[in-house]
Amino acid sequence: MSEKESEFTIHPITVLQDNIVWVWVHNCNAVVVDPSISSPVERWILDNNLSLEAILQTHHHEDHIGGTQNLIKRWPNAMVIASKKELKRIPFQTFSVDDNDIFHLLDSEIKVIEVNGHTNNHIAFYISKADAKYNILFPGDTLFGGGCGRLLEGTPIQMFESLYKLNSLPENTKIYSAHEYTENNLKWALELEPNNISIIERLKLVQIKLQKGMCSLPSSLLEERKTNLFLRADNVEDFTALRKHKDCWKC
């Protein structure tokens, strides 16, 4: 499975219980996003006769950086791109970035967006091309299909503001989240809004994909605006109530 745009493709590698490692390919080069573990990623890159150019790290959690050091042993020239505020927790980064920084990879412009909440120093990577039909977002654990990340270090206002930033991107932005949580999130949303046709229809399509062994992602920002209750929260208080409800749902 892959998502094609112009001359590059983006492929999911599902690992661990529900992580998705995205591999962005252009010509013979690959960029890996948040490699949880190394073996399946290394095997996929080698099987496809690619060279690893860079690794994008959204945050420091082990299920996002656990495979990085082995990958850069195999490809020592690959850049590891991470937040400069995480030099202690991602010490093997070789290209440090900050909020609103812009850099180039695989013939594309990438903007760094600071999206704290899940962790204190979480970043997302936004890829835009002038001639593209859609833009690309790697949000890590900030925005999921139908959901958002738990507040493990940050505050509700931080996550609310982070989601506001992402919701301000163009509606045709494709969202490549780092976990396969879509079905669970939509079931929760449907319990709160049982007559929401958009949620009902999306849940059916997601379940069909999963039954076929497919990934439910990427989604689009337009789709999330219709079905993601966290993006539709009007204020921090509403967001906080939703996050608490989801945290305790089926506990």
pLDDT greater than 90 at residue 251: no
Instruction: Between 2 and 29, name the one with better pLDDT.
Output: 29
- Structure confidence at residue 129 as a pLDDT band (50, 70, 90): confident
The domain tally of the chain equals: 1
Q: What's residue 1's pLDDT?
A: 41
Amino acid 250: pLDDT: 77
Could you tell me the end-to-end alpha-carbon distance of the chain, in angstroms, rounded to an integer?
34
* Confidence (pTM): 0.95
The mean per-residue pLDDT over the stretch 43-65 comes to 98
Question: Quick one: average pLDDT of 45-62?
Answer: 98
Q: Given a cut of 90, is residue 130 above it in pLDDT?
A: no
List the CATH number of the domain containing 216. Answer: 3.60.15.10
* Domain range enclosing 137: 3-248
Mean pLDDT across the chain, nearest whole number? 95
- In this predicted structure, the answer to whether residue 5 has a pLDDT above a threshold of 80 is no
- For 86-149, what is the HEC assignment? HCCCCCCCCEEECCCCEEEECCEEEEEEECCCCCCCCEEEEEECCCCCCCEEECCCCEECCEEC
Please tell me the predicted confidence (pLDDT) of residue 128.
86
Per residue in 69-123, pLDDT (tens digit) is 999 999 999 999 999 999 999 999 999 999 999 999 999 999 999 999 999 999 9
The pLDDT tens digits for 166-198 are 999 999 999 999 999 999 999 999 999 999 999
pLDDT of residue 171: 94
